[in-house]
Structure formats: structure tokens, C-alpha cells
Structure 1
Amino acid sequence: MSEGLYGSEEFDALLDEDDILDGTFECLRRIWGDPEALSDRRLADSEYRTRKLEYELEQLYPPLYDDLLEQMGDHPVTQLDQGCGVIMDALSFREGFRLERELAADHDWSVSLTWAPIEGLPSETQFICREWFDAQSPSAVSRDDFRFVGDMDVPKLPGTEPEYVWTRHPDQRLEGALKGNYSMEEVEDIYEDVKTLLEDIVHESIHDEFLVTSDHGYVNHLGNSPYSLSDEEEEALSSKFNSRFCEVGNGQAYQLLERAKVIERVREHYMVRGHYKWTKRGATKKIMHGGMSLPECMTPVLHINTDPVGVN
């Protein structure tokens, strides 16, 4: 299986970790910890290896998604009692591994990266914002300890203990970049802007401890994929799904897709599993979220301390 997806350390982690998803995270670190993983030369290969890893893991360990579902809820951002919680819409572990490396190298900060499952499915901002802040969208949150950042300008932050910041980036840029033609170079451009925005938030805040995470990640369908659909399955998906989830409905198409394990029901919604994709007339999005996959449902959790030696 390996194909460069893991080495001996990652294989040991898959076998020895109490949670196979922790071992999976180390395999993802092997892929996305590469400094060139997001570059235009390497992005398609990085995405393929991520899809291949997920595909093979589910074949070898069928309860993979069951384990992921069981762990959802009580995201670390909901347990925050001090410092600043930064939620960057659709930030994924791809960017997380690079931020961990570059923020530590560029600043005198202590930076570490772990992961946490999303709060719940579907992995859409509206559902997660409702769960965390009792509002339909981050821009609608009205709390003294909360700020929404819709562009690249950071407003005055609350200064409360704790405080919360929710940014529209990188999702805003990802959505704009992935309609119609797709430029691989744009992904690195988006990353650089997100890094700058995060640095500005850190400098604007009165705090020296930060938990940086996201409401969900995303799948990127760029390049080849081990996931395939029959003509009948693709027709069923394209006829019933406009995104990677939909409300539960009746009909043979849903039954076909459930039997093939292309979709899975979670309460009142059907989720597209893994990295299955379908085509429709016109431009086809390459980056999507809302379904059940590792890049969507394993959120990065960066811990940053800007005063690691305790000297103000």
C-alpha cells in the first residue's frame, strides 16, 4: 500500500496509537509537512496521495468513518477559557502543517499542531456556527467577546478573556478561485494571504496564547483519483446532489448510492463519502465541502504562544 504514503514511523503510529485517526494524522503530516506540498508543481500529487491514503485506509479499516463520527462534538474551540480562539473558515490541515513550520521559523513563537474532528455533519459553516455561537452565520454573531473578519483588515479585537475571531478566509478566496478554470498557483497565493491575516490578528490581540482552528476543511478534486463511479452511480449523484450533502429523500438513486457506500446517512442528511466526484454541464467545482472525508472533517488545531519564555 505504501506508495510513499507512510514510512516506518507513520506505520508504527497507525498500529500503536490508541486512535487510528491519530496515526492517520501522522501519515498526513508526511504528505503535507513537505515544504513544497502546496506548490504548483506538487499540489496535484499531494492531493492524489491524500485521496489514496484515505481510500486504502478505509479498505483496510472499514470503521474509519464510524470512528470519525463518534469523536465529533466538543471541539477544542468550545472548551477555550483563556487567550484568543481564531476560527479560519475552511482552513485545513494542508495549511496547518505549513503554518506550524513557518510561524515558528518567522517569529519567536512556540507553535504546535494537533487535530480535532469537526463539531458535526454536514461540514458547513451555517450548521457549525449555529452550534458554537447560536447564529446562522459568523457575520450575524452579536457577542462582546466575538469579532468577524470579512476581509483582510483586522478590526479592534474584543480584549476579553477569552476572545473569539472568525475570519471569512480562506474560504472566501477558495470559492472565488474554483469557479470555472482553476489555477494551481492560486492556492499558494491564498495561503500567503491567510498567513498574513493570522499574523495581523496575533499582533492586534492583547493575548499571547492562541488556538487557531477551523469550522471545516475541504476536498480538492484536482488531478487523478482512486475513487471511481459507474455510469449509473454518477448519474444518481449528479441528479440528486448539488453539493457534497443533501437532505434525506426517497428513491432508487439514494438506495443505489447507499448500497455502493458512496453516500452515508447522518440523521436528516446524506453525505458523500471519501472523494467521489461527479460532473455536470458547465464549470465543475474542484474544491468542495459538506461531506464526509478526512480533509473535510479533521480540522487543524494550532497552539501558538507568542511569549514562550514568559517575558513580556
Structure 2
Amino acid sequence: MFSHDLKANFSVNLGFSYSSLPSDTINFKSMLNINLSKKKVGVINDFDLTPIKGNEEIFLSRFPDSYLESIQEGKTRIQTIPEVYNKTFKLLEDLLEKIEFEDITIISDHGYVILEPEFIIPVEPSMQKLIARIMGGGRFKKASEVNADKFVKEGYLIKANDNYIAKSRYTWPISGKFKVFQHGGISLLECITPVLTIKK
């Protein structure tokens, strides 16, 4: 959608890349192998872009992640996905106006799976409590901390980079609060990420 909506004012090309495994931010930064201490970096934690000068080489943003990861409390949806998109797009437009460079590349560290009934593949009922006991509510777990080989054999997890990682859109119920939008697993939605190249 960014690609389509930005074309009104910019030359935009849409490509794709891949997340790290597990598909999370910390592992992604390691995969990039960029020494941020030697770059001019702008950090965007809110919608106040006043601290941004426009000559930074790299921008790090928590949007739309911070919205998606808190989009729902219990069974109450706090805001809709279109609302999240519109707010994030407005932030991006404002940022592009401030950036001095003509050629800009936008990448993402990971995608998400939506843990709602119509989007998931449930683990077999007989396995649900067992896998939840080991994996908790997350999509990956350090192999040095647990032994989940049983669930690798069953086809629910893979073992890679010293982690047990949830395959596809497999999920299991847990007690208490959980995030509707999650990442860290190995599915197309989590691991194939968009790349936008923009020319101002």
C-alpha cells in the first residue's frame, strides 16, 4: 500500500527481501552487520520529528510495530488496521519531506502473523499444552534453554540458528494475555519483507 500511495509524489519501486531467523529485530540487526556507531542515525520513537535533521544516513522507527503489538487489549480492539496504516503513512510522508537525500531505501526487519482463528493453523489438541509449556506464547525459543525436538519431529517447529522456531502459521493457546500480532516464526508472512526504493 505504501508503494501505491507514495507514487502520487515520488518515483517508487517495490521489491522484497528476507528477515533473519528467528524473524525478530535483534537478529535482523545482527544480520545486517552495520556498525551504527559509525553512521548518522535518526531514531523515531514518536510522531515528533523535530529532532530529525534530515541528513541522517539511517533511520530506525518503531512504527507501525508499536501500534500492531498493542492493537488489542484482551478482546477489545483499540484501533483498526486502517487507522494504524494511516498514522504510519502520515509519519512516513512527513519524514520524506525532511530527508535531504534524493535516493531512499525503506526496509523492514520482519512481518507478522495474526493470531486470530481465521488466520491460524492450530496445533493438534493433544499437543497444545505440551508445546505451550515449552514455547510459552512466543514464536521462538533458544535451543540452549529448552528441548523441543519432539515438536520438530511432529512438524510444528524447526531448529535453526540455535533456536526452535514456529513453522508456518501454527499456534497454540496460552493462558493470560497474548499479542494478536506476533513475529519470530518462519512463515511467508513473517519472513518475506518489502523493500521500497524511492527517488524524490
Give me the TM-score of the superposition, normalised by structure 1.
0.58
**Corresponding position of 2:152:** 258
Q: 1:291 to 1:207 in 2, by over 3 A?
A: same
1:228 is displaced (CA, Å) by 3.0
| Larger fraction in strand | 2
2: distance between equivalents of 1:157 and 1:124? 28
2: distance between equivalents of 1:130 and 1:179? 32
Matched, 1:209 2:103: yes
CA RMSD, 1 decimal:
2.1
Q: Contact 1:113/1:300 (CA < 8 Å) preserved in 2?
A: yes
Paired AA for residue 157 in structure 1: K
Aligned pairs for 1:83-162 (under 5 A) are 98-105=1-8, 107=9, 109-118=10-19, 120-132=20-32, 142-154=37-49, 155-157=51-53, 159=55
| Structure 2 segments unaligned to the other structure (5+ residues) | none
| Structure 1 segments unaligned to the other structure (5+ residues) | 1-97, 136-140, 307-312
Count residues with an aligned counterpart. 197
Q: 1:225 to 1:158 in 2, by over 3 A?
A: closer
Q: 1:214 to 1:250 in 2, by over 3 A?
A: closer
2: distance between equivalents of 1:130 and 1:182? 35
Query: What percentage of aligned pairs have identical amino acids?
Result: 25
1: distance between equivalents of 2:146 and 2:39? 44
Q: Contact 2:13/2:198 (CA < 8 Å) preserved in 1?
A: yes
Cα-to-partner distance string for 1:187-241 (whole Å, 9 max, x where unaligned): 1111111101111111001112111111111111234246232122212221111
Cα-to-partner distance string for 1:127-147 (whole Å, 9 max, x where unaligned): 222443668xxxxx5444211
Q: Contact 1:246/1:270 (CA < 8 Å) preserved in 2?
A: yes
Give the match's secondary structure for 2:122.
coil
Q: 1:173 to 1:264 in 2, by over 3 A?
A: same
Q: Contact 2:139/2:166 (CA < 8 Å) preserved in 1?
A: yes
Cα-to-partner distance string for 1:56-82 (whole Å, 9 max, x where unaligned): xxxxxxxxxxxxxxxxxxxxxxxxxxx
Give the match's secondary structure for 1:115.
strand
**Corresponding position of 1:273:** 167
